[in-house]
């Protein structure tokens, strides 16, 4: 949105107003992040549940992993991952001269020991997690400050649905089958759908608690707006 449209549909606010609104919003309610751009240039819309406890997600996932291991729940996966293939047909996860990038596909169920091992390892990583790579201070419900660089992050979000509007530029990545299977298992769990977003103007709007938080792409000012007004303004821009 440009600055002219923003003034028409929104009221300029500061960060304190956003914090107050987030604290008043219901935990577990649905929120919508429009036009978020990640570091790879991908632009996407996200439907999320807001104010979700990561600890609660982990607890549910530990129980689910155990249920799968006990045979109470079936798990089947199709796992795709990159490899480098040398001239003799050997697979590698590192790039080197004479190796060709390719995509491998594995179809697995719990009769395959590789999948069972992956579930066991994922469960262990949830029970005894590695030290966090970054620490955050909570500023408001769902809003945290990175203790090392001061950047604000919108966290405690559970991904419900994502629609990519612009593809990002992702370099080819290779991994071992073991890592790829573990990653595929994690994506099936609640904690694998946990998301965080940098709150620095990379988005067009965040709608939570019936109010849209907008960012002006020109002067980076923040605004509150009614979600219906935002939707109508976006539709008007699309037609123009």
How many CA atoms, within 13 angstroms, populate the side-chain half-sphere of residue 161? Answer: 6
d(CA 109, CA 114): 9
Reported as a pLDDT band with limits 50, 70 and 90, residue 3 is very low
What value does the mean pLDDT of the chain take? 89
Question: Mean pLDDT across the stretch 102-109?
Answer: 97
Give the per-residue pLDDT at 7.
Answer: 40
pLDDT for position 126: 97
Furthest C-alpha separation in the chain: 64
The predicted-structure confidence for 177-193, as pLDDT tens digits, reads as follows 999 999 999 999 999 99
**What's the rounded Cα separation, in Å, for the pair 58 and 102?**
34
Q: Over 60: is that where the pLDDT of 77 sits? A: yes
Mean pLDDT across 129-154: 94
Tell me which residue of 26, 192, 194, 50 sits closest to 119, measured CA to CA.
192
Q: pTM higher than 0.75 for the full model?
A: yes
Give pLDDT, residue 37. 94
Q: Using DSSP, state whether 17 is helix, strand or coil.
A: helix
DSSP class of 192 = G
Question: pLDDT band at residue 227, thresholds of 50, 70 and 90?
Answer: low
User: 156-165, pLDDT tens digit by residue?
Assistant: 999 999 999 9
The distance of Cα 230 from the centroid of its chain, to the nearest Å, equals 24
To the nearest 10 degrees (0 to 180), the angle between helices 113-127 and 54-69 is 150
Work out the average pLDDT over 196-216: 85
């Amino acid at each position: 949105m440009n600055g002219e449209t923003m003034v028409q549909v929104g009221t300029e606010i500061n960060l304190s107003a956003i914090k107050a609104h987030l604290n008043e919003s219901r935990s577990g309610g649905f929120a919508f992040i429009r036009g978020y751009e990640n570091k790879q240039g991908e632009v996407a819309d996200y439907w999320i549940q807001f104010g979700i406890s990561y600890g609660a997600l982990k607890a549910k996932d530990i129980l689910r992993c155990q249920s799968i291991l006990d045979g109470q729940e079936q798990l089947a996966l199709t796992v795709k991952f990159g490899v480098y293939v040398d001239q003799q047909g050997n697979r590698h996860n590192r790039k080197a001269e004479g190796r060709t990038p390719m995509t491998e596909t594995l179809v697995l169920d719990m009769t395959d020991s590789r999948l069972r091992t992956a579930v066991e390892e994922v469960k262990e990583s949830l029970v005894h997690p590695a030290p966090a790579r970054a620490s955050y201070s909570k500023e408001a419900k769902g809003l945290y400050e990175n203790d090392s660089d001061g950047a604000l992050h919108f966290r405690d979000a559970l991904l419900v649905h994502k629609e990519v509007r612009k593809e990002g530029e992702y370099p080819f990545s290779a991994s071992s089958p073991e890592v790829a299977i573990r990653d595929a298992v994690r994506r099936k769990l609640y904690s694998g759908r946990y998301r965080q977003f940098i709150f620095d103007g990379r988005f067009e709007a965040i709608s939570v608690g019936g109010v849209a938080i907008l960012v002006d792409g020109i002067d980076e000012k923040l605004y509150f707006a009614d979600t219906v007004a935002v939707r109508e303004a976006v539709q008007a821009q699309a037609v123009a």
